[in-house]
Amino acid sequence: MKTMTCRQMGGNCDFAVHGSTADELMGNGAKHVQEMASKGDAEHIKIQAMMDAMQKDPAAGQAWYKKFTADFAALPES
């Protein structure tokens, strides 16, 4: 299990996100952003919009994913 904060993943808060794999951590981070955005948190709404934009721009999405997986690999097990 590894842990990153929302901020480490490109977000704007220090909520701890956990996952056993990079994809699980990424999914849990996305779920956190969606939950906060649905509660009306303006900063998370902006992050959600950026995530949506990355899905429409494969190059940007791939660049983010490449950095994210490298950052995940460098994390210690928690």
CB distance 42 to 33 below 8 Å? no
DSSP letter for 76, please.
Answer: P
76 in any annotated domain:
no
- Is this model's pTM higher than 0.85 or not? yes
How long, in residues, is the chain? 78
Domain that holds residue 6: 2-70
Check residue 55 and give its pLDDT.
87
Please list the rounded mean pLDDT of every run of 10 residues in the chain (78 residues).
Answer: 94 96 96 97 95 90 92 93
78 in any annotated domain:
no
77 in any annotated domain:
no
Rounded Cα–Cα distance for residues 65 and 43 (Å): 21
4, two tokens: 């990153």
Number of domains the chain is built from:
1
Task: Give the amino acid at 67.
Answer: K
56 in any annotated domain:
yes
